[in-house]
Chain A
Amino acid sequence: MRISLSDVRQDLVLAHEQAWSALSEPGTWWSGAQRRELAQTALLAVIEIEPLPPWVAVSAVEGKISASTVASSSAHDAVYRIARHASTLTKEWYERVTQEIDPLAFVELCGIVCTVATVVAFRRALDLELPELAAAKTGEPSHHKPDNIVDATLNWVPVVAPADEIAAVVQAFTAVPQTNRVIWAMADAQYIPDKEMVDPHWTRGTLTRVQMELVATRVSQQRECFY
């Protein structure tokens, strides 16, 4: 039996559409053209059947990405590595990357990868066609920086204060509110709305909570994510 996009819940379709459109729009630290280009590299990483190994930079391989990119080659290299080999990342790698990319721009870059990975995974699982990236929109990044950004103990990346009072995954993108909103809107639609997280009996009427957690655990295990 074939599933079509019209079978999918509207809240989920909308969350994906909004996140996908935002990939071609100016962000907080990257322009629309840069975001779109980085999304293309993430797309390449998650759909390649024979990926580059983690130690090979995508920008160093002829023909993988354009020779003249608007985002730096180090940004493309980081995107490819996160998209395809996230479990191999180390703090030393993060420190090296953020010598070339501002930590807040890095947070936004992670959000681009997360958006591409989640939409592609959903479409691929249901054999739905992948959406096209829209043309890049002009305009400057907002450079919006919250006043209260601090270092965290539970994350490499800086977060909004107070640090470490909520789960590390929840505080991870708080220093870039625009990215944070997009990602958690998708999480609410895909998994469990934030306010329902503490209820072990919450359900949409399809999967029970324990079934959801079984699937979540299997994916995390497949991706070798210790967290």
Chain B
Amino acid sequence: MLSWSGTEQGIEIDLTTVQAATGGVAVSFAKQLVDFATAATEFNLTALAKSRDQLISVAGVATTIDTAAVIANFEMMTRLADSTGARMETEVVANRLIVAQAMGVDKVVSRR
């Protein structure tokens, strides 16, 4: 979805920047978004407060709230997918393998 939405908007996404949590330069506030998402999924409250403040300062309160909402949604969807054994069809997995390798998730247990 990230690659697709980027392509549709004429933005080339380097997925290794997501893995490295550095964000990309082609997407506005990418680093602040990735830092906030990273901190929100870990248990370092200091890093979370810092990344939240940084995102508010560059993008504003409404955008920060909507970012938290997307984070929350994928805390839900990842559990939904993994607990119900959701998987993609074989051809889709094959097509997406390059993306998965770029992000370093091709060897995770949840690949099925």
Contacts and interface: CB of A to CB of B under 8 A. Distances in A.
Contacts of B43: 49
A12 interface: yes
B85 A226 contact: no
Interface residues of A, number: 72
The B interface is mostly helix, strand or loop, or mixed, namely helix
B82 A91 contact: no
A215 B51 CA distance: 13
Interface residues of B, number: 74
B96 to A, nearest CB: 9
Nearest to B51: A125
Contact of B86 (A115, A121, A155, A223): A155
Interface of B: 1-2, 4-6, 8-9, 11, 13, 15, 18-19, 21, 23-24, 27-30, 33-34, 36-38, 40-43, 48-49, 52-53, 56, 59-89, 100, 103-106, 108-112
Interface of A: 1, 3, 7-9, 12, 49, 82-83, 86-91, 94, 107, 110, 113-115, 117-122, 124-127, 154-157, 167-169, 172-173, 183, 186-187, 189-191, 200-201, 204-227
